[in-house]
Amino acid sequence: MKVVAFKRELQGSGASRRLRISGQTPGIVYGGTEAPMNISLDHNALYHALKKEVFHSSILDLEIDGVSQQVLLRDFQTHAFKQLVLHADFQRIDANTKIHMKVALHFANADVSPAVKLHGATISHVANEIEVSCLPKDLPEFITVDLSNIDVGHSLHIGEIAMPAGVTAVTHGSNLTIATASVPAGHVSAEAAVAAPAAPAADAKPAAKAKK
């Protein structure tokens, strides 16, 4: 994705406030062998880009005054209640250096899992993103989590997720739980319903006495 920015000379809260009033968002790009650079971006373009999942987990082509460089979005700040992006941080990347990045999880095949098909279970997503390590060229937009084999009472852990080629999960020594399956209280599974004996019929009411 391409992001257009401009070098920003003026700094300070007053200059940033004037930028926002004019429809711009202040930002910074840092990292690599170059010095950090203050930049400004079109607010509306940035605001709509931030709504896209791919913008948060992709290598971006940041064009500053006609010169492009590859960056990652590292942070951004928004107003507490206004639809306003206050600041954005971008990090330069090196094609030959691995990066650490949080990537969204997309869950698939829950409806065909034993937990759902046989037991009517609910599958809870414990984590919606994980941190990965990879070269910039291998960074995935998202990682698919296959839930087709999860059963009631079982959990799916990060170590069981199939990672894309060249991508490694950063676990910090913990096999993080990604999803769990459990049957809601009072719910009867399909197997239990078949196995359960039929309820006895209610006793017939005694016949009414004949009138004399």
Closest CA to 159 of 133, 178, 139: 178
121-160: pLDDT as tens digits: 999 999 999 999 999 999 999 999 999 999 998 999 999 9
CB 30 within 8 A of CB 72: no
- DSSP count for the chain of H helices, then E strands: 5, 13
Q: For 35-39, what is the mean pLDDT? A: 94
Per-residue DSSP letter, 138: G
Place of tokens 């319903």: 193
pTM of structure: 0.78
Per-residue DSSP letter, 153: T
Question: pLDDT at residue 80 above 70?
Answer: yes
Question: pLDDT at residue 204 above 70?
Answer: no
CB 90 within 8 A of CB 72: yes
- % of the chain with per-residue pLDDT over 70: 87
Q: For 167-192, what is the mean pLDDT? A: 79
Q: pLDDT at position 174, please?
A: 85
